[in-house]
Amino acid sequence: MDLIQVLIRLALVDEEWDDKGRRYQQVRELLGNPRELTDRQEAQAALVRDDAEARAALANLELEMESLQGRLSQVEKDLYGGTISAPRELENLRRDGDQLRHRIAQIEDQALALMAACDDLDVRVHDGAAALEAFESEWAVLTADARETYQTLRARLQDLQSEREQLRQRVPAQEMALYDELRRTKNGRPLAPMRDGICQVCRVSVPRNKITIAEGGYDSVATCEGCGRILYQA
């Protein structure tokens, strides 16, 4: 395998390395940072907390209602039981009764609103739990596939790294530096195919002396006068 063939093979290996490296990083991030799953679990936990808080508030209102109704019952008993005749005391009792009834009416309205909220939250918690369970099942399958993909990609990248190192050792330092610079500046495409004396990337004609080098069998490379890439015979 002459120099240009080594570079062609190295370019193919590097292209696969870049592609699989990006995919490997994506899979690694998926396995290491299950953001979507965590977000869904936190949202469901928040719904459960809201439901519990609403039910606790409703229970507190019911206890307050029970206490107020007991006090109102006693007030009405004192007011209409005939044991109290003093006008001032009776007026105070009537005022207390009115205040108690007003507060009871407020609590009833609040309780009705909370009951409706609890019913809505019950539905959302139930539906959310079902949706979360389904997503967790899908996630388990997805991450299982991702773990398998991760292992496959890792093994392939190790093989590619080994081949890259072997190929790079076969390229002289000057040509290796040129290749690396072009790979960096030409969007990962350091080589350009040549056909019928024309660069197939930029369509510039290649001089005769460079055509000979690009056809292979030499220890040096030729670059396109248009795009600057290393030429090879396609």
Tokens of 131: 């949706």
Host domain of residue 126: 13-169
Q: Tokens 């388990």, residue?
A: 140
pLDDT at 197: 95
pLDDT at 120: 96
Read off the pTM: 0.62
Select from 169, 190, 224 the last residue of a domain.
Answer: 169
Q: Which stretches of the chain drop beneath a pLDDT of 50?
A: none
Residues 110 and 205 in one domain: no
> From start to end of 91-155, where are the E strands?
none
* Beta carbons within 10 angstroms of residue 57's beta carbon: 15
pLDDT at 217: 81
Rounded to 5 degrees, what are φ and ψ at 207?
Answer: -60, 155
pLDDT at 21: 95
> Count of domains in the chain?
2
pLDDT at 82: 83
Q: How far apart are CA 229 and CA 90, in angstroms?
A: 105
Tokens of 44: 């469901």
pLDDT at 31: 86
pLDDT at 196: 95
pLDDT at 52: 96
Contacts of residue 79, Cβ cutoff 8 Å, sequence gap at least 6: 90, 93, 94, 97
